[in-house]
């Protein structure tokens, strides 16, 4: 952990050499991601709600999904870009060091510009909670939010690690990421009850993004479910995280170096 913190602080210092670039990219990401939500707000402003969920309730789902994915993109850019290690043969250099390759990958780089996405999510979350506070008590929801965000981060990281591991066999993973990350997280921006059965099965099992926000919010926003729903995100995230680590350790055995 000490080593990880040391490597991360070095990474932050190197990024901060270009402060203006950092600020500009962070603001751009945040503003551009906001447009997506503004479009959704325009639809819901005209049609009131989507299958029983109003704009503020959808806003909470949207914010949690957005913050979780942005946190992962901030903290693990090398996992996201893992295919370059396979294609360019850079993974060799990680294997010869006396530290786990996964720790090295996580500490190698931080994509601080993605913090703009986190801030955008937090802004939508605050606005949505303010809107909801006129109708109901939110103390319990706010107290539970840190747990949800940690679980959301773990689920997104685990999905990304699963996808990165596939690179040990396929080398390229960009096309898989659309299937395992972009599409599911886009879907998780909205309530799961709008989707057809087969999509719901996917989002509740193999790509369990529903547990990141929809399941706990069913109970916290009084839309059904029981207190037990608050335990599910942590259980699913923990299980999924352990499974992704196992899969990574299994996949690494199949790594073939590139060479001349």
Partner 1 sequence: MVYWLLFKKSFSRNMQYRLSHLINNAASAIFGFVYIAIWTGVLAGKEQKSPYSIMDMTYYMGASQCILWMTVFLTAGLGIQAGVRNGAISFELARPTNYFFYITSQEAGRIGYNALFRSLPIGLIFTFTVGFYTPEHFPAYVYTFLSVILAVGISLNIFYLIGISSCWTTEISWAHFINLTLMFSLGGQMVPLTFLPGPLSQVAGWLPFAGVVYYPVMIYLEKANSSVLLIQGGWLLFLLLLNQWITFLARQKIEIQGG
| Binding residues vs partner 1 (CB under 8 A) | 24-25, 28-29, 32, 35-36, 39, 42-48, 50-51, 170, 172, 174-176, 178-179, 182-183, 186-187, 190-191, 193-196, 199
Helices 19-47/115-133 angle, 10° precision:
40
Q: Cα-atom radius of gyration of the chain, to the nearest Å? A: 19
Pick between residue 202 and residue 234 the one whose CB is nearest to partner 1: 202
Q: Which two tokens stand for residue 34?
A: 């906001």
Pick between residue 14 and residue 178 the one whose CB is nearest to partner 1: 178
DSSP H helices in 76-114: 77-80, 83-87, 91-95, 101-108
Q: Considering the complex, what minimum distance in angstroms separates the CB of residue 14 from partner 1?
A: 18
Residue 210 is classified by DSSP as G
Pick between residue 11 and residue 186 the one whose CB is nearest to partner 1: 186
Pick between residue 152 and residue 191 the one whose CB is nearest to partner 1: 191
Closest to 44 (Cα-Cα) out of 56, 35, 34: 56
How many angstroms separate the CA atoms of 107 and 202, rounded?
32
Q: Would you say 213 and 188 are in contact if contact means Cβ atoms under 8 Å apart?
A: yes
Pick between residue 133 and residue 193 the one whose CB is nearest to partner 1: 193
Pick between residue 6 and residue 174 the one whose CB is nearest to partner 1: 174
Contacts of 13 (CB under 8 A, 6+ apart): none
Pick between residue 107 and residue 163 the one whose CB is nearest to partner 1: 163
Q: Considering the complex, what minimum distance in angstroms separates the CB of residue 97 from partner 1?
A: 30
Q: Considering the complex, what minimum distance in angstroms separates the CB of residue 113 from partner 1?
A: 10
How many angstroms separate the CA atoms of 63 and 55, rounded?
12
CA angle, corner 147, sides to 143 and 150, nearest 5?
140
Contacts of 22 (CB under 8 A, 6+ apart): 15, 16, 112, 113
Q: Considering the complex, what minimum distance in angstroms separates the CB of residue 39 from partner 1?
A: 5
């Amino acid at each position: 952990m000490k080593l990880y913190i040391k490597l991360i602080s070095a990474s932050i210092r190197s990024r901060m050499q270009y402060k203006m670039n950092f600020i500009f990219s962070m603001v751009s990401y945040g503003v551009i991601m906001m447009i997506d939500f503004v479009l959704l707000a325009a639809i819901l402003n005209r049609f009131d709600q989507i299958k029983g969920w109003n704009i503020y309730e959808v806003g909470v789902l949207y914010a949690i999904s957005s913050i979780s994915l942005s946190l992962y993109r901030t903290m693990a850019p090398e996992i996201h870009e893992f295919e370059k290690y396979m294609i360019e043969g850079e993974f060799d250099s990680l294997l010869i060091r006396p530290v786990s390759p996964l720790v090295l990958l996580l500490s190698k780089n931080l994509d601080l510009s993605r913090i703009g996405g986190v801030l955008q999510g937090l802004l939508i979350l605050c606005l949505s909670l303010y809107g909801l506070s006129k109708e109901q008590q939110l103390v319990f929801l706010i107290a539970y939010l840190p747990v949800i965000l940690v679980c959301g981060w773990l689920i997104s990281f685990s999905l990304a690690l699963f996808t990165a591991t596939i690179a040990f066999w396929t080398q390229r993973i960009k096309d898989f990421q659309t299937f395992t990350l972009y599409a599911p997280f886009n879907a998780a921006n909205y309530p799961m009850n709008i989707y057809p059965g087969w999509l719901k099965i996917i989002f509740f099992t193999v790509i369990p993004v529903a547990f990141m926000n929809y399941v706990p919010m069913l109970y916290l926003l009084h839309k059904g479910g029981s207190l037990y729903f608050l335990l599910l995100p942590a259980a699913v995230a923990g299980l999924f995280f352990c499974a992704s680590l196992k899969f990574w350790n299994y996949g690494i055995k199949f790594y073939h170096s590139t060479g001349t």
